[in-house]
Amino acid sequence: MAKSIRRKNKQKDKDVPSEPQAVVRVSSKDVYEWIEQTVSKKNPKVGERICPYAEKTLKAKTIQIVPGKSNLVDQIFHCCNLFGSLALECVVIYIQYKISENKLARICGEGHEGNPNFAVLYDHPDNAGLHKGVSFSFGKCPLIFIQPLKELKDAQSKLGRTAYYKRWGLDPNDSMFY
């Protein structure tokens, strides 16, 4: 009987172990500073920002940076419901417990399937995210980025009419861009 109870509990919360273990102490301030100092600034090697829209989003305060809960799929669904009422452009969830990149990718896929009007992207420290020798990764802990898909597609279309993707050596039709 004890075995069947344990199995039920394990299946109940598929996202994380029953007792999440902290990977590193990170706060929303750390993520905010990374976006401000790395993502929104022109990279000297490439002469381009990682995200040309990040600075505007930070200044407009239309970004929320929140810690990851034990059930990330539920948290993604909850965050998607907040965009309209809070006039958000982006939500970043930082995850302080151990989670594999594969599991994070599955969670983001499930989050997008249940919320097809939103892009649900991730950054994992096991993936350096290198392009032209520049790391696109936060590196300290896994992150989930949630953005309205229409706005993301519009921004990608605008960037496609510039030299942005060429400078970074990226294919704008790659599946990572939705």
The model's pLDDT over 30-55, given as tens digits with 9 standing for 90+, comes to: 999 999 999 999 999 889 999 999 99
Alpha-carbon dihedral of residues 23, 24, 29, 32, nearest 10 degrees? -60
For residue 1, pLDDT over 60 is answered with: no
CB 152 within 8 A of CB 119: yes
| Closest C-alpha among 76, 80, 58, 173 to residue 122 | 76
Pairing of strands 63-67, 90-94: parallel
User: Quick one: pLDDT band at residue 15, thresholds 50, 70, 90?
Assistant: very low
Contacts 24+ apart (CB under 8 A), 128-134: 131/168, 131/169, 131/170, 132/45, 132/46, 132/168, 132/169, 133/45, 134/43, 134/45, 134/46, 134/50
For residue 170, pLDDT over 90 is answered with: no
Interval 91-116: pLDDT, tens: 999 999 999 999 999 999 999 999 99
**Residue ranges per structural domain of the chain:** 22-170
